[in-house]
Amino acid sequence: MHVPEASVLLPDPAQQQAGLAALLPGFGHLDWLAQTGSTNADLLLRGRQGHAGNLPWLLGTHLQQAGRGRAGRPWRNRAGAALMFSCGFEVQAPAARLPFLSFLAGMIACETLRRIAPAPARHDIILKWPNDVQFGQAKLAGILVESMRMGTGFLVVMGIGINLADAAETSLHLGREVADWSQILSTAPTPAPQDACMIVASLAQAWQQAVAEFEHGTLGDVDARFAAIDALRGRAINVIDREHVLLSGTAAGIDHQGCLQVETEDGRIHPVSIGEISVRTHS
C-alpha cells in the first residue's frame, strides 16, 4: 500500500489501542474504537456509571457519529480524516476554577502540536481563544472540555479532533478555510509520515502533566506562554453570542482566570468568560 509522504499513519483500531497502551502505561483505562457516538459523552457516561477508579482514561475513535464542538455544534468527519480522542482526569479543585481548564486544554494542545510539527510550520500553529488550534488563519483542531462531580472532586474530560486530511474539500463545504496535519507535515524539507500513536500520546501526556500542575499551582507564566501562541492579540474583534454582537474591541490577552480581555475604544478592559461565546475577527 502506498503511503503519501506527508500523512499520518493511522492503524486499525486494535493496533492503535495496543500502540497507545505501550506509550501510556499510566492510563488506567484505554480504548480505541472503530466508531462511536462521542468520545466525550462516552467518558462522561463511564463516570456516571461509577467507574471512578483507574484514572486517567483515554478513549479514541476512527469515526464519531455524534461528535460535538463548542456550544453543541456538530463535528463533521469521515473515518480516517481526523484524529479524535478524549482523556478523562480526576481534578481536585474548586468548581469556580474549572472553566480555566477549557482554555488550558487548548494552550497545552497548541504547544504540543508545535513541538511535534516540522520546524518550518511551528510558528504558524497558534491558538484562537479559548481553544481552537489554527494553522495560520485556518482551523486545524477543535477542543471540547466538559466536567461532572465525582467523589470529592470532578471528572474533567478533554476531547480533541485534529484534521488529518481533506482540508480542501472541507474548506469548500464550510465556506471557510480549514487546515489539516498533512499540510503541516508537507512543510518539512523532507516530508515523512508521522505515527498517530505518537501524536495522541504526546497530547495525552501533556494534558496529564498540565492538570497536575493546575492542581498544584505550578503552571508557571501562563500569560507569557499564551502570548507566544495568541492568534488574536492586538486584533479588532467582535464577541458574538447567538448571532448577536455583545462587544467590540481589541483582543488584549487573558486574565488570571483564562478569560479573554477585550479593550474597548474608551480604554476599558472587559473580561470575556468561557462558554457559548465565540470570538470572530472583523472581515
The CATH number of the domain where 162 resides is what? 3.30.930.10
For the chain, strand residue ranges (E) read 8-9, 29-33, 57-61, 82-91, 125-128, 132-135, 138-150, 153-163, 194-195, 236-241, 244-254, 260-263, 269-272, 278-281
Decide which of 202, 225, 248 is a domain's last residue: 225
pLDDT in tens, 124-140: 999 999 999 999 999 99
| Residue 3 within a domain | no
Q: Are residues 186 and 49 in the same domain?
A: yes
| Residue 1 within a domain | no
Q: Are residues 208 and 116 in the same domain?
A: yes
Average pLDDT over residues 268-273: 94
Q: Are residues 112 and 243 in the same domain?
A: no
219 vs 68, more confident: 219
| Residue 2 within a domain | no
274 vs 87, more confident: 87
Q: Are residues 176 and 135 in the same domain?
A: yes
Q: Does the structure show a pLDDT above 90 at 53?
A: no
What's the chain's Rg over C-alpha atoms?
A: 18
| Residue 107 within a domain | yes
Q: Are residues 91 and 173 in the same domain?
A: yes
Q: Does the structure show a pLDDT above 90 at 198?
A: yes
Average pLDDT over residues 222-231: 97
* High-pLDDT (> 70) share of the chain, %: 90
Q: Does the structure show a pLDDT above 70 at 70?
A: no
Average pLDDT over residues 242-257: 90
Q: Does the structure show a pLDDT above 60 at 205?
A: yes
| Residue 115 within a domain | yes
**What totals of helices (H) and strands (E) does the chain contain, helices first?**
8, 14
The CA angle 274-225-266, to the nearest 5 degrees, is 55
Q: What is the pLDDT of residue 11?
A: 94
Decide which of 225, 243, 259 is a domain's last residue: 225
Q: Are residues 89 and 192 in the same domain?
A: yes
Task: Band the pLDDT of 3: cuts 50, 70, 90.
Answer: very low
Q: What is the pLDDT of residue 6?
A: 59
What are the φ/ψ torsions at residue 113 (nearest 5 degrees)?
-65, -35
Region of poorest pLDDT, from 11-15, 44-48, 64-68, 226-230: 64-68
* High-pLDDT (> 90) share of the chain, %: 74
Q: Are residues 97 and 185 in the same domain?
A: yes
Q: What CA–CA distance (Å, rounded) separates 126 from 139?
A: 10
Q: Does the structure show a pLDDT above 70 at 1?
A: no
Average pLDDT over residues 159-179: 88
Q: Are residues 158 and 207 in the same domain?
A: yes
Q: Are residues 125 and 77 in the same domain?
A: yes
Q: What CA–CA distance (Å, rounded) separates 146 from 58?
A: 14
| Domain with 259 in it | 233-281
Q: What is the pLDDT of residue 32?
A: 98
Q: Are residues 161 and 37 in the same domain?
A: yes
Q: Are residues 100 and 146 in the same domain?
A: yes
Q: What is the pLDDT of residue 270?
A: 96
In the chain, the number of structural domains is 2
Q: Are residues 70 and 119 in the same domain?
A: yes
Q: Does the structure show a pLDDT above 90 at 250?
A: yes
CATH at residue 253: 2.30.30.100
Q: What is the pLDDT of residue 276?
A: 46
Beta-strand pair 8-9/194-195: parallel
Task: Band the pLDDT of 173: cuts 50, 70, 90.
Answer: confident
| Residue 75 within a domain | yes
Mean of per-residue pLDDT scores for the chain = 90
